[in-house]
């Protein structure tokens, strides 16, 4: 994730225990809450996208492994473009 210079301040509510655990983390102390929460949000969205792609693939091709005999050997050749 690249910093593009355009940041918006938002308010996020967390309970005291979560905040204490967050503040105790070495990465948070080093980089700051905002940086770590930005990375966490980015990771969350990437994982959701990956699951959505996997779900769409499963829906389209079923639960059978591979792409079938017609496409044997090509399974690892494709890639999804980044958003």
pTM of the complete model beyond 0.75 = no
Looking at residue 42, what is its pLDDT?
A: 95
Tell me the two tokens of residue 25.
Answer: 């983390």
State the Cα–Cα distance between residues 74 and 66, nearest whole angstrom: 9
* Direct distance between the N- and C-terminal alpha carbons of the chain, in angstroms, rounded to an integer: 12
CB-CB contact of 80 with 53 (8 Å): yes
State the Cα–Cα distance between residues 52 and 50, nearest whole angstrom: 5
Q: What is the mean pLDDT of each run of 10 residues along the chain (83 residues)?
A: 77 96 97 96 95 87 68 73 72
Domain boundaries, the chain: 16-65
3-class DSSP state of 49: helix
Task: Give the distance between the most distant pair of CA atoms in the chain.
Answer: 56
């Amino acid at each position: 994730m690249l910093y593009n210079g355009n940041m918006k301040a938002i308010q996020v509510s967390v309970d005291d225990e979560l905040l204490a655990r967050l503040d105790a983390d070495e990465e948070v102390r080093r980089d700051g809450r905002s940086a770590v929460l930005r990375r966490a949000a980015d990771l969350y969205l990437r994982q959701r996208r990956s699951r959505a792609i996997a779900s769409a693939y499963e829906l389209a091709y079923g639960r059978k492994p591979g792409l079938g005999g017609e496409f044997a050997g090509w399974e690892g050749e494709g890639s999804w473009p980044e958003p």
